[in-house]
Amino acid sequence: MNIGKRCAAELLGTFWLVFGGCGSAVLAAKFIAFEGSTPLNLGIGLVGVSLAFGLTVLTMAYAIGHISGCHLNPAVSVGLMIAKRFPSAELVPYVISQLVGAFLGAAVLYVIASGTASFDWKNGFALNGFDEYSPGKYNLVSAFVAEVVLTFFFLMIILGATDKRAPAGFAPIAIGLGLTLIHLIGIPVTNLSVNPARSTGPALITALFGGNWTAIGQVWLFWLAPILGAFLAGVAYPQIANDK
C-alpha cells in the first residue's frame, strides 16, 4: 500500500478518534433533558466518554488496521518506530496526517456543538491540561507522570497485542479496552491525552474560534509526556519479549 493511501487512512482514523471521543465529552457527557419541568441527567459521564474513546480505536483498527496500521497518534508512531515496527522515513507523513485529521475532527465537532444557544467555551472543549485546565485541578507534576505512565502501558498493550506470537485477530479489542481503561484512570487528571494530535486539535479550535490561547500553551506537555512514555515502551517491550 503506497504512503499516500496509508496517510489518508491515518487522517480519517484520527478524525474519527477526535470526533467520536471528544464529541462524546462535549455533546454527551453532561446532557440534561426535561420531563415537564423536571430535569433529567441523561449524560454518559466519565465512563461513557472512556468507552467512546476505546470504541473509536477498536472500530478503526478493524477498518483501517490492514491499510495503515491504525496508529492515529504520533506517540504510537514513535513507539512503534523505536521498537522497529515502523520505518522512521514514514514518521513525519504519518504525524502530519494525524494532526490534520485531529484538527478537522475538532472543527466539525465545533460546527455541531456551537449549533445550540447553550454552547459555551467556558464549559470546555475536551481540552487536555493541568492546574486550571485539569478536571480535578491536578498540578503539572501529576499530569506529566500520569501521561508518561499511561502512554507507556498503552504502547505496551499495542506492542504485545500486535506481536506475531499473540492470538490473531484480537489486537483491536485489547487496544480498544486498554484505551478505555487508561481514560477511566486519567480523565480526572488531564482529561487524558496520551496522544499529541488529540490534544492539539481541540486546543487549536479553541484558540481560533473561542479566542482562548491560554490552553494551547499547555499542549507542549501533551507532546513531551506521551512521546517519552511511548519511547520508553518502544525500548522496553523488545527487551522483555525477546526470547533470545
Asked if residue 211 has pLDDT above 90, the reply is no
Residues 6+ apart with CB under 8 A from 227: 74, 75, 78, 151, 196
Cell numbers for 174, please give them.
Answer: 485489547
pLDDT, tens digit (0-9, with 9 covering 90-100), for 168-178 = 899 999 999 99
Asked if residue 244 has pLDDT above 70, the reply is no
Residues 6+ apart with CB under 8 A from 125: 22, 26, 106, 109, 110, 113, 202, 205, 206, 210
Asked if residue 182 has pLDDT above 70, the reply is yes
Total Cβ atoms within 10 A of residue 154? 26
Asked if residue 126 has pLDDT above 70, the reply is yes
Domain-wise residue ranges, the chain = 3-241
Mean pLDDT of 145-157: 98
pLDDT, tens digit (0-9, with 9 covering 90-100), for 34-53 = 767 777 777 899 999 999 99
pLDDT, tens digit (0-9, with 9 covering 90-100), for 61-92 = 999 999 999 999 999 999 999 999 999 999 99
CATH architecture of 3-241: Up-down Bundle (1.20)
Q: What is the average pLDDT score of the chain?
A: 95
Percent of the chain with pLDDT over 90: 86
β-partners of residue 39 are 34
Instruction: Report the pLDDT value the prediction gives residue 138, as an integer from 0 to 100.
Output: 98
Residues 6+ apart with CB under 8 A from 43: 28, 29, 30, 31, 32
